């Protein structure tokens, strides 16, 4: 059995819902104007496409929801937008380790707080209005 090459944006029916390859895994749509449509086995390419202005509006709604839940807009666009979330530091675990090591772990804790990075997700809206996330820098 030959392995199929996975490309970002490839769609597949998993028996319950449509999923899209995001570069790391098969993921569900983050947002959709019709969530129930994604649970029907009929190929999405058979649906009529929506106008560019409607796609922009749907992406704007998805970005607004991401920002409301704590994300920052890194790079805005009309059909793709990159959002980022700062990685969390588990302060409780670090506090316990600092106590157990008599303060020596505090150096690691401070370094982790200062060096926090962002996890970035590129939100893309397809021609049918479904918004999908592409994580980090996926292999194409």
Beta strands in 62-136 (DSSP E): 72-75, 80-86, 118-125, 131-135
The reported pLDDT for the residue numbered 1 is 41
pTM of the model: 0.73
The reported pLDDT for the residue numbered 54 is 94
**Residue-range domain boundaries for the chain:** 11-130
Q: How far is CA 121 from CA 24, 100, 103, 115, in A?
A: 12, 37, 36, 19
Largest separation between any pair of C-alpha atoms in the chain: 64
Query: Phi and psi at residue 4, in whole multiples of 5°?
Result: -80, 140
Query: Phi and psi at residue 108, in whole multiples of 5°?
Result: -65, -40
Mean pLDDT by 10 residues, the chain (140 residues): 67 92 89 92 92 94 92 90 89 94 93 87 92 68
Say how many CA atoms lie within 13 Å of 15 toward its Cβ: 0
DSSP code, position 48: P
């Amino acid at each position: 059995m030959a392995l199929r090459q996975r490309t970002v944006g490839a769609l597949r029916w998993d028996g319950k819902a449509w999923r899209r390859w995001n570069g790391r895994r098969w993921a569900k749509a983050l947002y959709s104007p019709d969530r129930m449509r994604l649970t029907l086995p009929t190929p999405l390419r058979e649906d009529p496409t929506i106008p560019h202005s409607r796609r922009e509006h749907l992406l704007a709604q998805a970005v607004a929801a991401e920002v409301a839940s704590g994300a920052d807009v890194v790079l805005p666009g009309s059909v793709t937008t990159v959002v980022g979330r700062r990685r969390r530091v588990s302060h409780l675990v670090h506090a316990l380790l600092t106590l157990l090591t008599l303060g020596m772990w505090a150096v690691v804790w401070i370094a982790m707080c200062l060096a926090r990075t962002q996890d970035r997700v590129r939100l893309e809206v397809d021609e049918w209005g479904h918004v999908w996330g592409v994580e980090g820098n996926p292999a194409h």
